[in-house]
Amino acid sequence: MFLLLVVKKIYVFDRIRAAKHRPRLGTAIIRIFPTDEAVRASYPMLDHGDYFDYNLEYVFDDISPIDYTSEEIKERKLVLFSETNAERIITDFRQVMQALDYLVVHCDLGRRRSPAVAAALNHMFRLGIADKDYLEFIHDPDWRPNMHVYRTLIEVARGRFNLKFNAYLLGEKD
């Protein structure tokens, strides 16, 4: 039997809003960093970092296989989101999800990687955030989730973790 978790809110932020956010008890933050050291250095420290119950950090770039050839990815020293990244996110989240009421997910601009991760976790773990409610947290008209990140998470959850769920928020249909 699968336990339905009810997360009160999923916040999808850019790096600035995430740094200023003061979390409540029962909050995890997923921080997504790019590989570019200069950009990563521009990420501010979390003002209230000690208030987060869990701090999960990952490094991958906001690219997809259609953006660059594998040679260009190597040449530019970019990190394409992989099944290994997906496994790590899913495994880490499974270890902390029972203790959560709130989830903050952020990347550089909060437009592509973080919404993709948040949507995938919401669907695969049935966090209880309805699509309409979830979308209210996105306040940026340029919000375009990275479909490569989303689809990779969904495929790994179904294939390697044997999770059963409907994923449809970002265009996936069962």
State the Cα–Cα distance between residues 140 and 100, nearest whole angstrom. Answer: 26
Tell me what pLDDT residue 144 has.
Answer: 84
Tell me what pLDDT residue 139 has.
Answer: 55
Note whether residue 169 is domain-resident. no
Tell me what pLDDT residue 62 has.
Answer: 96
Average pLDDT in the chain: 85
Residue 174, pLDDT > 70, answer no
Q: CA–CA distance from 41 to each of 37, 55, 77, 114, 121 (Å)?
A: 6, 18, 17, 18, 27
- Candidates 98, 128, 103; CA nearest to 115 is 103
Q: Tell me how far apart the terminal alpha carbons of the chain are, to the nearest angstrom.
A: 20
Note whether residue 165 is domain-resident. no
Range of the domain at 45: 9-159
Note whether residue 139 is domain-resident. yes
Note whether residue 155 is domain-resident. yes
Q: What is the pLDDT of residues 1-25, one digit of tens each?
A: 344 556 778 888 999 999 999 999 9
Note whether residue 86 is domain-resident. yes
Note whether residue 3 is domain-resident. no
As for how many domains the chain has, the answer is 1
Q: What is the pLDDT of residues 126-163, one digit of tens each?
A: 776 665 555 445 556 677 889 999 999 999 999 988 87
Tell me what pLDDT residue 128 has.
Answer: 66
Note whether residue 111 is domain-resident. yes
Which has the higher per-residue pLDDT, 170 or 104? Answer: 104
Task: Measure the CA angle with vertex 150, ends 36 and 122; round to 5°.
Answer: 115
Residue 150 sits in a domain whose CATH number is 3.90.190
Note whether residue 173 is domain-resident. no
Full-model pTM: 0.87
Q: What is the pLDDT of residues 84-98, one digit of tens each?
A: 999 999 999 999 988
